[in-house]
């Protein structure tokens, strides 16, 4: 058997003599691998970004919301809009009474007109019970303070308002006055949320009673939009959540499989996001696989042409002692080098695409495993594509090949 290093050097010289064809063949693999790397890096980055943002939510925290959203993300089955069920103060009191539940806080979400100087926009306002909400979320304040239990008509605003991202030249700061609702209820800013918080920079938080005032007839007497709570240390999270779910279902007279409310946890959100990303990745991956398949055919076509052009050369190699196995390894090694070159350049191109995506606020992640997979997969395509041409070349008769 020939020296592997000699075979490698021979294959490299062979590719160097066919530069244009080699470049065009490599290009087919580069496009597919670049698409795979950029797609996986963006999807992994998106998932990692969601995980990072959910850290503020807390692994022991949960939120009860109206409507069953358990099957909404993928199948759509079992989904019911929030209008299918309503939450009330009595539901919040029931949640608070369950062993293992701490820091339960009611919340109200309401759309409202915000007027600041000459600017008018419609936004979502979050009304919260100050002390328990702050314990649950642990929001960092950039300037000023968070809401107090006895506050009325004050607000904590997201950093986008303070940085001028919302109203351009009109920046809001601590002490700024704005108006909410058609009745133009006056509010004063007492705090600005730190941008490092994993909450929207456009968030506006007001006291619970103020949000109820803004909601007016949109909410029934005693109705709330959500109930946020935490599971006390020392209690099993899943067990407490199951008790909360069963207790609420029993008090509302519904079976668990027909419940008109949902328990949202960090794990639940991650699961839904993971399923959505998985479906999108699978669909796009199928499309990209077609590109890789075309690249594989390109490699096979190139190697078939190489065998045809090098028939006499192969015959000469066999005549001077090269075995059929040597010839087969020679062709496969050449096709593997094409795959390696395509994978390496595709990995680099995918990395560049990921960098460009990050400029547009897309979080991207390229792991060592992804890099290894990209190169190994492309080499695999090259090897598989070269097997049949290599086999045909190895079966050539030395005398017949030289005489062609």
CA–CA separation, 73 and 82 (whole Å): 15
* Domain coordinates in residue numbering, the chain: 4-52+272-403, 86-259
Percent of the chain with pLDDT over 90: 30
Answer whether 312's CB lies under 8 Å from 404's CB.
yes
For the cut 50, the answer to whether the pLDDT of residue 288 exceeds it is yes
Residue-level pLDDT at 398:
67
pLDDT digits (tens, 9 = 90+) for 295-354: 777 777 776 776 666 666 667 776 777 777 877 887 788 888 888 888 888 899 889 988
Q: In terms of Cα–Cα distance, which of 301, 330, 298, 290 is closest to 314?
A: 330
pLDDT classification of 177: cutoffs 50, 70, 90: very high
Q: In which residue are the tokens 């209820």 written?
A: 185
Residue-level pLDDT at 129:
94
CA–CA separation, 282 and 185 (whole Å): 50
Q: In terms of Cα–Cα distance, which of 114, 110, 119, 219 is closest to 164?
A: 119
Read off the pLDDT of each residue in 98-115 and give the average, rounded to a whole number.
92
Residues 6+ apart with CB under 8 A from 221: none
Higher-pLDDT residue of 164 and 129 is 129
Poorest-pLDDT segment among 40-49, 54-63, 67-76: 67-76
| Four-residue CA torsion sign, 320, 323, 324, 327 | negative
Residue-level pLDDT at 82:
43
Residue-level pLDDT at 110:
93
Residue-level pLDDT at 75:
36
* Other Cβ atoms closer than 10 A to 34: 25
Higher-pLDDT residue of 85 and 261 is 261
CA–CA separation, 47 and 103 (whole Å): 29
Q: In which residue are the tokens 């030289």 written?
A: 402
CA–CA separation, 404 and 401 (whole Å): 5
What is the DSSP code string of 330-381? HHHHHHHHHHHHHHHHHHHHHHHHHHHHHHTT------HHHHHHHHHHHHHH
- Please report, for residues 134, 229, 271, the alpha-carbon distance to residue 149 in angstroms, rounded to integers and kept in the order given: 11, 17, 35
């Amino acid at each position: 058997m020939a020296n592997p290093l000699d075979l490698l050097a021979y294959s490299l010289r062979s590719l160097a003599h066919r530069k244009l064809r080699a470049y065009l063949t490599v290009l087919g693999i580069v496009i597919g691998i670049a698409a795979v790397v950029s797609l996986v890096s963006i999807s992994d980055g998106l998932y990692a970004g969601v995980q990072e943002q959910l850290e503020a939510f807390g692994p022991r925290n949960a939120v009860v919301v109206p409507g069953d959203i358990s099957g909404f993300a993928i199948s759509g089955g079992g989904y019911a809009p929030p209008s299918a069920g309503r939450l009330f103060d009595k539901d919040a009191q029931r949640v608070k009474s369950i062993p293992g539940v701490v820091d339960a806080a009611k919340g109200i979400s309401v759309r409202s007109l915000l007027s600041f100087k000459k600017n008018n926009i419609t936004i979502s306002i979050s009304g919260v019970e100050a002390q328990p909400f702050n314990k649950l979320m642990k929001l960092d304040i950039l300037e000023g303070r968070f809401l107090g239990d006895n506050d009325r008509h004050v607000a904590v605003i997201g950093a986008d308002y303070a940085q001028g991202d919302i109203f351009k030249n009109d920046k809001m700061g601590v002490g700024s006055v704005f108006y909410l609702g058609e009745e133009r209820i006056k509010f004063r800013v007492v705090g600005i949320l730190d941008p490092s918080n994993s909450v929207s920079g456009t968030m506006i938080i007001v006291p619970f009673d103020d949000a109820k005032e803004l909601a007016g007839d949109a909410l029934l007497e005693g109705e709330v939009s959500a109930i946020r709570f935490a599971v006390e240390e020392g209690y099993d999270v899943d067990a407490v959540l199951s008790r909360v779910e069963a207790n609420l279902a029993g008090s509302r007279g519904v079976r668990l499989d027909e419940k008109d409310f949902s328990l949202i946890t960090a794990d639940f959100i991650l699961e839904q996001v993971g399923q959505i990303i998985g479906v999108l990745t699978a669909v796009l991956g199928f499309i990209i696989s077609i590109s890789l398949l075309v690249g594989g055919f390109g490699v096979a076509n190139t190697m078939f042409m190489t065998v045809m052009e090098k028939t006499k050369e192969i015959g000469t190699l066999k005549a001077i002692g090269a075995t059929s196995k040597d010839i087969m390894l020679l062709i496969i090694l050449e096709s593997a080098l094409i795959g390696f070159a395509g994978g390496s350049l595709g990995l680099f191109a995918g990395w560049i695409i990921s960098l460009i995506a990050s400029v547009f606020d897309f979080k991207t992640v390229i792991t060592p495993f992804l890099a290894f997979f990209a190169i190994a997969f492309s080499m695999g395509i090259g090897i598989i594509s070269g097997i049949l041409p290599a086999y045909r070349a190895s079966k050539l008769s030395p005398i017949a090949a030289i005489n062609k």
